Structure 1
């Protein structure tokens, strides 16, 4: 009967309302439960991060070369895959990978040795100019009211040749060349042998932990793309700087070209580090005209390579905001030394892999870290709506709400 149907409908509505109320209460209770200890969890996370940072700093002499060997292994892994696809035995492919990395490191070490030798020969030639420049700087400070007596004493007693021993001791103290080379080559050998099992291991892990397997593959490809592209563009940048400085007439052009290549791995601040020495020696030789020429040349080369070419080639390999990138350089340089500034991006991507990419609950953090595709689309829509509203106001027409129009 009709009253029976009406009664059944009323009871169903009441049951649905009760279910919605229960779901709302459960959600509120869950939110209350989570928020009760939220601050404590944040403090525990910060404390754990601080302890981890201090721990990494304590073993920085081991951690840095091991991670560097890992990055080298990731970068040359496609060579192994290509050789194995062509039927090369796995052992021979491993030996080829190790030989390729060894040759690259030897070539870079030889370039550093040549640059250091040239620098040792260059400094004594400009001893008088450097001392005169220091005294003129002290005179200028005195002219603006700064007491520069101590600066005068330092400038008069400064011996540029003493920098050679200082730099040699600094390089030896920071890196410990012998021990680092032993660690790097040993880890390269072991990681190269273990890398042959990585594709199969990822296939085994995918059915159990698909997000972890996908994130690991993505990390390897992103780090490889970033490091390879940065290396190639850094070589081009160093070569162009070398040729340009030779044409301009700046002393030690090869040294500053190699420095530009190394500093190309340091985001944001590497350019400012690389430009200081050629400015100084260019100013000693040619004065302000040569200083301006060096600044213009470096600015054009750096602007084209690092601001135009590199972002387009690297693409989405590094989804990190500029603020996080700059902070990561400072942070890792403090934690593990100068090599931390060079490996800042791979290290930060590793932290992101462990804390965000492999945790489905942390997906909401990604836009804050630098994945801004959706954010840019929303901003573009807002800009288009604002532009349409401005046009409507100038035309004397009422502004149209796109959301309301879509609803109609």
Structure 2
């Protein structure tokens, strides 16, 4: 092996080892990193609204205070409403699990009438349908534990917004090629602002429509399931499907298969309209990430940072992609992360 190839192999090995050490450090310190990431993205989302208030001659400090007072008031109102529903649901969860297992056994008996013989005990040992409903409770509990640091998150986001005007000057002083780097930073901020704004509106519409639909059908805890639909809609591809599971199962055990089927069809209709009609209309060509990369990023960031990592998987992957595009060595990997149309035109 030539000396040049040996040097390249050693360099790749060192980079891989460094990446493993960094990821291990991030996972171990996720309790600190997750609130900081939430604060960063809250600041990014709030910055356009603060700039809008500035057009009406509102001082920046006052605009920041107004925006965050509104966020805290709305957040506390929703948290109080959802918290009560979540407590009631948690108390009734053992009863719901028992009823769900009984329904599952009933389905096995129906299959037996059509000569589809299944062993109830063996199936329940491999697949306990009552555990599916835990996904909703675990998701909301995970977010609740993060939001326990609400004061730290809000305070950090406020300081970030105050610091935002001087970041550009600091970057120009710190980087060897500031103009190029600033172009990538501006592109990232524009992409994330656009994505989060559109996704928030679409998710809000999804949650409202789901909640109203469940209220009309008299499904218990419709507010809780509406909020869950809003939150999980941030998770690409599978979030909306996960949000439908607890509502469908609850309708099944309390109101029967007919209502459960209507709930499932309703969720499919809402998600199809919002995800395939409304969102693409405003999102345009999208974010330049392939569908496979979006799904894999969901798994990766969820493993690394938990529930919040799943919610922020697309913006975080965008950061990585834009950083790779700024480097000659990493540009090939950025092309692999992008869609085929982008790869041809870039």
Query: TM-score per shorter chain, which class?
Result: 0.7 to 0.9
Report the CA distance shift for 1:245/1:168 in structure 2 as closer, same or farther (over 3 A). Answer: closer
Tell me if 1:43 matches 2:13: yes
Pick the aligned partner of 1:357 from 299, 312, 325: 325
Aligned counterparts, 1:327-342, within 5 A: 327-342=296-311
Pick the aligned partner of 1:79 from 32, 49, 67: 49
Tell me if 1:58 matches 2:28: yes
Q: Please report how far the alpha carbon of residue 290 of structure 1 lies from its aligned counterpart in structure 2 after TM superposition.
A: 2.0
- Asked whether the equivalents of residues 188 and 318 of structure 2 are also in contact (C-alpha less than 8 Å), the reply is yes
CA distance in 1: counterparts of 2:309 and 2:328, whole angstroms: 29
3-state secondary structure, aligned to 2:256: helix
**Which position in structure 2 is the counterpart of 1:4?**
none
Report the CA distance shift for 1:202/1:47 in structure 2 as closer, same or farther (over 3 A). Answer: closer
CA distance in 2: counterparts of 1:117 and 1:361, whole angstroms: 51
Q: Please report how far the alpha carbon of residue 89 of structure 1 lies from its aligned counterpart in structure 2 after TM superposition.
A: 2.5
Pick the aligned partner of 2:179 from 210, 214, 225: 210
- Asked whether the equivalents of residues 97 and 192 of structure 1 are also in contact (C-alpha less than 8 Å), the reply is no
Q: Please report how far the alpha carbon of residue 291 of structure 1 lies from its aligned counterpart in structure 2 after TM superposition.
A: 2.5
Q: Which runs of 5+ in 1 are unaligned?
A: 1-31, 379-408
3-state secondary structure, aligned to 1:267: coil
CA distance in 1: counterparts of 2:69 and 2:305, whole angstroms: 28
**Which position in structure 1 is the counterpart of 2:159?**
190
What CA deviation, in whole Å up to 9, does each residue of 1:107-160 have, x standing for no partner?
A: 4423432431452475477577346335546768998353618959xx9xx9xx
**Which position in structure 2 is the counterpart of 1:240?**
209
**Which position in structure 2 is the counterpart of 1:106?**
76
- Asked whether the equivalents of residues 108 and 118 of structure 2 are also in contact (C-alpha less than 8 Å), the reply is no
- Asked whether the equivalents of residues 290 and 337 of structure 2 are also in contact (C-alpha less than 8 Å), the reply is yes
What CA deviation, in whole Å up to 9, does each residue of 1:378-407 have, x standing for no partner?
A: 9xxxxxxxxxxxxxxxxxxxxxxxxxxxxx
Q: Please report how far the alpha carbon of residue 263 of structure 1 lies from its aligned counterpart in structure 2 after TM superposition.
A: 0.7
CA distance in 2: counterparts of 1:55 and 1:69, whole angstroms: 20
Q: Which has the higher contact order (CA 8 A, sep 6+)?
A: 2
Report the CA distance shift for 1:316/1:67 in structure 2 as closer, same or farther (over 3 A). Answer: farther
**Which position in structure 2 is the counterpart of 1:369?**
337
Tell me if 1:231 matches 2:204: no
- Asked whether the equivalents of residues 233 and 310 of structure 1 are also in contact (C-alpha less than 8 Å), the reply is yes
TM-score, scaled to structure 1: 0.70
Q: Please report how far the alpha carbon of residue 331 of structure 1 lies from its aligned counterpart in structure 2 after TM superposition.
A: 0.8
Name which of structure 1's ranges 361-370 and 55-64 shifts more when overlaid on structure 2. Answer: 361-370
CA distance in 1: counterparts of 2:209 and 2:282, whole angstroms: 19
CA distance in 2: counterparts of 1:115 and 1:366, whole angstroms: 44
CA distance in 1: counterparts of 2:292 and 2:237, whole angstroms: 10
**Which position in structure 2 is the counterpart of 1:390?**
none
- Asked whether the equivalents of residues 205 and 213 of structure 1 are also in contact (C-alpha less than 8 Å), the reply is no
CA distance in 2: counterparts of 1:228 and 1:80, whole angstroms: 14
Pick the aligned partner of 1:68 from 38, 47, 50: 38
Report the CA distance shift for 1:253/1:34 in structure 2 as closer, same or farther (over 3 A). Answer: farther
Q: Which runs of 5+ in 2 are unaligned?
A: none
TM-score, scaled to structure 2: 0.82
What do you get for the CA RMSD once the two structures are aligned?
3.6
Report the CA distance shift for 1:149/1:361 in structure 2 as closer, same or farther (over 3 A). Answer: closer
Q: Please report how far the alpha carbon of residue 276 of structure 1 lies from its aligned counterpart in structure 2 after TM superposition.
A: 0.8
Larger radius of gyration: 1
Report the CA distance shift for 1:199/1:341 in structure 2 as closer, same or farther (over 3 A). Answer: same
**Matched positions, count:** 336
**Which position in structure 2 is the counterpart of 1:344?**
313
Q: Please report how far the alpha carbon of residue 58 of structure 1 lies from its aligned counterpart in structure 2 after TM superposition.
A: 0.4
CA distance in 1: counterparts of 2:197 and 2:144, whole angstroms: 25
